[in-house]
Amino acid sequence: MFYSFCSSNIFFLITKKGSFDYLQSGQPSRVRSFPHVEGNYALHIYIPDTFFEWPQFFINNIELNELPFFLFTLLIISVFIQSISKKEMGQFLKRVSSVVPNLHVVDIDVPLDTLCKEEHKLEQVALGREFHISLGRTVPIRVHQIDSIVTMLCQKLQFQKRYWIDFNKWEVFINDDRTRTFLSLEVVTGGLPEITKQIQAVNEVYKLHNLPEFYKDPRPHISLAWALGHVSGSFKKVVEQETKSSGFRGSLQSRICTSKVGGIECKIGNRTHIICKSPNQ
C-alpha cells in the first residue's frame, strides 16, 4: 500500500516502509464533469476490503458549516487487486500502452508508459492502489440533505455481508460528457448480484431526495487507465486484439482477478461516514 500527494508537477509516493519516491506528471488536460462552483465537494460511498487511515497531510480542515449550499455525491465500492494477479495484468497494460498513446493511470494521472519502464512501479502504482466501483451517479446535493442521505443509506445497507468480486473482462468505457475514454475491468459474474442489489438500494435513497438514479443497465467495473477524448472505437479494437492474444479470455467462466469486499463507506467532501462494517472487520 502507498499514499500519494502532489506538489507542483511531481507525485510523491510513500511506501509501507515510509520511504519516498516520485514520478513526474505530464500535466494531462482533463475536463470537469461538473462546472466548478466554489464550495462544491464530493461525497463518496464505497466498500473497502481494507480500512486504513490517511496521513495527516491529506486532511482538509474546512468545516462543513463553512461551505456554501452544494456538495457532490459519488457512491463507490473500494477494492484492491491481489498480488497474484498483478504480474499478468501488468503485462497486458504494457502491451496496450505500446499501441495506444498518451494513456494515464486513473486518479493519479501518471503517464502509463512511464510506469511500464519499471515493472515494480507499474505493479505498485497502477495496480497496487485502491480501485472504485460506482454504485450511483455523481450528483450535487444540498448540505441540509447530508444527514438524511447518510441515515437512509445506513438503514438500507447496514446488514451487507462480505463477498467476492470477480473481474472477468477487459472493457472500454467513456464518461458521460465524452471527454475521456477508460480501460477497465468489468464484473460479469461473481459479485454482480450483490453489487446490483446495492445499486438498487442507493437508487431508492436517491429517488427519495429527488436525485437522478443510476444507469438502467449498470455494468460494474474498475478503471485502470484513461485517454483524453472519445477514442473508444480504436481503443476497443486494441483491447480486443490484445485480449485474444493473451491468456485473458474474457469468458463467463474465467477471471482476470478477484477481490473480497466488506463494509460500505460514504465520503462527503473530506468527511467519511461508515455506512456498515462486516462483522469480522
For residues 197 and 192, give the distance between their C-alpha atoms in angstroms, rounded to a whole number. Answer: 9
- DSSP state string for 184-221: EEEE-STTHHHHHHHHHHHHHHHHHTT-----SS---E
The bridge status of strand 70-80 relative to strand 42-46 is parallel
For residues 253 and 257, give the distance between their C-alpha atoms in angstroms, rounded to a whole number. Answer: 12
Cell 448540505 sits on residue: 143
For 169, 171, 212, 249, 261, the CA distances from 185, given in Å and listed in that order, are: 6, 6, 25, 13, 16
C-alpha cell at 211: 436525485
For residues 143 and 61, give the distance between their C-alpha atoms in angstroms, rounded to a whole number. Answer: 17
C-alpha cell at 144: 441540509
- Decide: 170 and 89 in contact? Cβ < 8 Å: no
Closest C-alpha among 30, 42, 36 to residue 134? 42
C-alpha cell at 167: 473481474
How many Cα neighbours within 13 Å face the side chain of 248?
25
Report the catalytic residues.
Answer: 132, 221
**Residue 54 CB neighbours (<10 A):** 11
